[in-house]
Amino acid sequence: MAYPVESLTTQSMCDEVLEDIQIELDDLTYRQTTYDHRDDKASARAASITEEIGVLDKDISDLNNQLAGMAPDSKYRPRREAELRTAVKRRGDLGAAQTTLGAVAAFRITLNLRQVVVQIEELNKAKAEVIAHRPTVPA
């Protein structure tokens, strides 16, 4: 769908629209750079959280198995119980962090990035149409 460039009847109108487009492009380009950076960090953070959760799940399972086979009066039992509590707490913290820092957050950032990219593409199309139309109208 073409932009209504025919409604721009003078070169100064075209210049004004081109200036508006350029301001918007500059802003969106900056936002794209920011989202690119945030996307990279969020993806890495999400992968790290997922990996750490996997390690903790294994550790928790191992500690539960150790405690199940350990005598109640074993001198190692209090230490293993403390390790289990620490691992369970960390696992819970990471589970909560997945919502704000994990895959969902990474997805949202990627979605925002793609929206900005589409906006930039559309502005560039509009800009090209105005540039092509400008010489056809009086100064």
Which residues 6+ apart lie within 8 Å of 76 measured at CB? 70
Full residue range of the structural domain in which residue 34 is found: 5-134
Token look-up 């119980």 returns 81
136 compared with 38, residue with greater pLDDT: 136
Q: How far apart are CA 39 and CA 110, in angstroms?
A: 6
pLDDT at 1: 79
pLDDT at 108: 87
The pLDDT tens digits of the residues spanning 2-40 come to 899 999 999 999 999 999 999 999 999 999 999 999 888
Q: Model confidence over 58-107: pLDDT tens digits?
A: 999 999 999 999 999 999 999 999 999 999 999 999 988 877 777 788 88
Alpha helices by DSSP H, listed for the chain, are 11-68, 77-101, 103-133
Report the number of distinct structural domains present in the chain.
1
Structural domain includes residue 139: no
Contact 133, 8 (CB under 8 A): yes
- Dihedral angle sign, alpha carbons of residues 7, 10, 11, 13: negative
Q: What would the pLDDT profile of 107-131 be if each residue is shown by its tens digit? A: 888 899 999 999 999 999 999 999 9
Question: For residue 127, is it within any domain?
Answer: yes
Q: Where residue 138 falls among pLDDT bands split at 50, 70, 90?
A: very high
Is 83 part of any domain? yes
